[in-house]
Structure formats: structure tokens, C-alpha cells
Amino acid sequence: MTTTAPPRQLPDATTTQPSARTPAPARAPRLAALDGLRFLAAVGVVAYHFTTRETTAWGRDLAEVAPAVSSWAVYASLGPELFFVISGFVILMTAWGRSVPDIVGSRVGRLYPAYWVGVLATGALLLLVWPGKEITGGQVLVNLTLLQSLVDVGHVDGVYWTLWVELRFYLLITLFAAFGITRARVLWFAALWPAAAMLARTLGWSDAVTWLVAPYAPLFAAGMALYVIHRTGHALVPWLLVGANAAVATAALVPARMGSLGANSVVPPQPVLLGVCLVACVGLVALVSLTPLARWRWSGLTAVGALTYPLYLTHEYWGLWVVHLLHDRVPVWAALGAAVAFSVALAWLVHRCVERPFGPLLRRATTRGCERVRDGVVAVWHEAVAVQERRLRADRAPVYDRGSSGARARSAAVR
């Protein structure tokens, strides 16, 4: 069972001085099997994009390219849904016992360096080398913010839609952490948040649907409940939440995914198998976190897990560009193997040359910036409270009328 250190102390409410930074809690042991699962999810997405999702890169009918792969890759397209369950587990593990500045710094340092490189690299490919998708330089610049969905600007690469989902989830977790994360609060959150998200979706409240992350909230919540079980042990309520959220997610997502996959895939999925795969997304996270697999410490799984994010960000257009160059020169298996190998190599370069050196720097800088903002807000708050208290004391002090008291004194002397 994973344990974490007690949470960091918030600024002392009895002092007007900003608090000094205290060390973050010790990091929990890494779940290597979970890293391996993340990489498998990314590989599934790669297989889907290269063999099953409609593309002209192969220069032929996609049904003729790799039908044996397409038959299962259409279900492997649920890799993002598996990512969401893993994210619910991992982000709660990251946030528990940590301050808001630590959480924000951790997420910014993890999310943006590889993303910026991915946007610029894919933008350069599509603008200068292989204009298979119409984009603009301005679109690339807006995409660098990761807020393009807020201003109705299209994604440079379609895979970025999942990052917008993740970013909204991070915002909710940050707000949650500001109130304090406890076991009971997590369970209430995992019960009420998906219910509110699904209600907003049913009623058509578009703004609430956006900020409550519907319809993916049940997947995140299922991962959160699994982390509670991993952290505190088996209990009925967390398991009920896991099962209920898995069921709600399946009911909400199967119709949507049937529509999107049916429109974009060379092989249409079967709804029953799609539902089974969605439930399996939750089951696989439970398997690698709550069984003896959680005790695996094989460094190879951690190494490939580190490639997951840059592979996901860069594989689609760069890999298909390789296919475009080779499809009429080598057999299908060779072109497909070259595309996968190039994508993995590119992911390794991004991880080694960008994430490892710059991620920690950005994390620390962001954390310090958030701490300065927090401490400044606390100092202003305490100063405002002190000013208000001084005003109240002044209002309560007795007021003497010098003229009246002098007249009373002279009258007394005469008498």
C-alpha cells in the first residue's frame, strides 16, 4: 500500500507575514506496471491512427492495408479513455498532501514542455513539409496556450482534444486541493461530481458540461476511487463508486464513440465489445494497482512509460508522413514498422532533450511563482483584516466633547 507524508502547512492565520516554503511530502513509490499500461494505451492509439482511422497517407484503400490490425485497433482507439482512468488515479496520488502551488507547478512542468515542442514540430511539418492538413501560423500560436478550445480555434493535431479534457480535470483537482483532500471528501467528490456532470449533459447546460468535464468525469472519478482503495485498503463504498462510475461512463460513451468511430474508421466497432473495452479500462487500472503487479519495480516499464506522453503528442502526422514517403516503395509491414520506429525515436528525443532538462525547471519556476502569489494574497488579506480591526477599535473608543465638558467644569466651580 502506498503512503504519503502529511500535507504541507498553509500560511498561519495568526501572522501577517508570508509563510516560508516548506518541503513537499516524500514521493510515493512509482507503480511501474501503471507506466507500462500507459505505454500500451499509447501504442493502441498509434496502431489505430496508422491502420484504422481514415487517411490518404497510404495512397490506397485503407481496408487493404492491415485488416488484421484494424480489427482490434478500432477498440484500441479507447486509449484516451484508459488515460483518463489512469489520470484520476495518478493525479490524486500527486495532489494528496500537497499545496496548491506544488500541484500547479507539477502539472505545468509535466504538460507544457513536450506539448510546446509537439505543437511547433507538427505545425512546421504541416506548414512547410507536408501540407496534408490546412492550418495557419496563427493557429499554431494559439495552440501553444492549450486554450484553443476556449476561443474556437482548431487543434493543430486532433489528439490535443484529450489535453483540454485533462486540463479541466486538473483545474477541478486544484480547487479541490485548496479545500483539503481527505478520504471522505474524495469519496463524496467521486460520487457527486460525475452525477452533476451527467445531469448537466442531460439538461443541455453547455457551460456546465464543459467545466464539469462531461462525459469523461466518471472515468476520472473511477480512477480516484481506485486510488483511495490503493491508499487505504478495500472497502465497500469505494468499490461501489468504481462500479457505478464504470457503468455510467459506459452508458454515456458507447453511443458517442460508436458515432465517431463509425464515421472515421475503416472497421466499424461493435457496441457490445466497445462497452466491454470501456469497462476494461477501469479493470486494467485496478489490476495493475491493487494486485501483486503493483509491486513490480522493473525499470524497463518506467522507461517506456516516460515515452508515453511525447509519443502520443507527435506520432500521428510525423508517423503518417513516414508512411506517405514509403508506402509505394516497401511492403506494408516495413512502412508500418518504420513509422512506429520513427515515432518512438522522436518521442525519445523529446523526452531526453526537452522533458528531462526543462520539465523540472518549469515546475520549480511555476511553483515559486504560485507561492509568491499565494503569499502576497495572504499578506494583503491579513493587512486588510488588521486595518478593519483598527477601524472597529476606533469606532468603539469613547468620544469626548471638549466644549461641553469645559462648560460643565465652570458651572461646577461657580456652585
For residue 34, pLDDT over 60 is answered with yes
Nearest-CA neighbor of 230 among 88, 80, 107, 78?
Answer: 88
Q: What would the mean pLDDT of 174-188 be, rounded to a whole number?
A: 96
Nearest-CA neighbor of 339 among 311, 310, 306, 309?
Answer: 311
C-beta separation of 336 from 71 below 8 A: no
Instruction: Point out the least confidently predicted range of 8-12, 29-33, 220-224, 325-329.
Output: 8-12
For residue 155, pLDDT over 80 is answered with yes
Residue 93's CB is within 10 A of a number of other CB atoms, namely 22
Grade residue 14 by pLDDT with cuts at 50, 70 and 90: very low
Residue 268's CB is within 10 A of a number of other CB atoms, namely 11
Q: What pLDDT sits at residue 225?
A: 98
For residue 27, pLDDT over 90 is answered with no
pLDDT, tens only, 91-140: 999 999 999 999 999 999 999 999 999 999 999 999 999 987 889 999 99
d(CA 252, CA 200): 13
211: enclosing H helix or E strand: helix 206-211
Q: What would the mean pLDDT of 329-356 be, rounded to a whole number?
A: 97
C-beta separation of 122 from 314 below 8 A: yes
Residue type present at position 299 = S
Q: What pLDDT sits at residue 382?
A: 87
Identify the residue with better confidence: 184 or 17: 184
Q: What pLDDT sits at residue 412?
A: 46
Give percent of the chain above pLDDT 90: 80
pLDDT, tens only, 67-90: 999 999 999 999 999 999 999 999
For residue 410, pLDDT over 50 is answered with no
For residue 414, pLDDT over 70 is answered with no
Grade residue 43 by pLDDT with cuts at 50, 70 and 90: very high
For residue 231, pLDDT over 90 is answered with yes
The full length of the chain comes to: 415
Instruction: Point out the least confidently predicted range of 11-25, 77-91, 142-156, 382-396.
Output: 11-25
DSSP 8-state assignment for residue 28: P
d(CA 6, CA 97): 6
Grade residue 24 by pLDDT with cuts at 50, 70 and 90: very low
Beta bridge partners of 265: 53
Instruction: Point out the least confidently predicted range of 13-17, 221-225, 372-376.
Output: 13-17
Cell numbers placing 111: 504538460
Helix axes 332-350, 100-124, angle to 10 degrees: 140
Q: What pLDDT sits at residue 398?
A: 67
DSSP 8-state assignment for residue 29: P
Nearest-CA neighbor of 87 among 59, 106, 65, 61?
Answer: 106
φ, ψ for residue 267 (rounded to 5)? -120, 115
d(CA 278, CA 160): 21
Identify the residue with better confidence: 296 or 191: 191
Q: What pLDDT sits at residue 409?
A: 46
Query: For the chain, what is the radius of gyration of the CA atoms?
Result: 28
C-beta separation of 87 from 221 below 8 A: no
Identify the residue with better confidence: 27 or 295: 295
pLDDT, tens only, 261-310: 999 999 999 999 999 999 999 999 999 999 999 999 898 999 999 999 99
d(CA 156, CA 363): 25
For residue 411, pLDDT over 70 is answered with no
φ, ψ for residue 53 (rounded to 5)? -80, 135
Q: What pLDDT sits at residue 400?
A: 55
Q: What pLDDT sits at residue 264?
A: 92
Q: What would the mean pLDDT of 335-364 be, rounded to a whole number?
A: 97
Beta bridge partners of 53: 265
Q: What pLDDT sits at residue 399?
A: 57
For residue 2, pLDDT over 60 is answered with no
pLDDT, tens only, 361-390: 999 999 999 999 989 998 998 888 888 888
Q: What angle do CA 303, 307, 313 make, to 5 degrees?
A: 170
Nearest-CA neighbor of 124 among 115, 137, 142?
Answer: 137
Give the position of cell 511553483: 367
Q: What would the mean pLDDT of 191-217 be, rounded to a whole number?
A: 97
Grade residue 26 by pLDDT with cuts at 50, 70 and 90: low
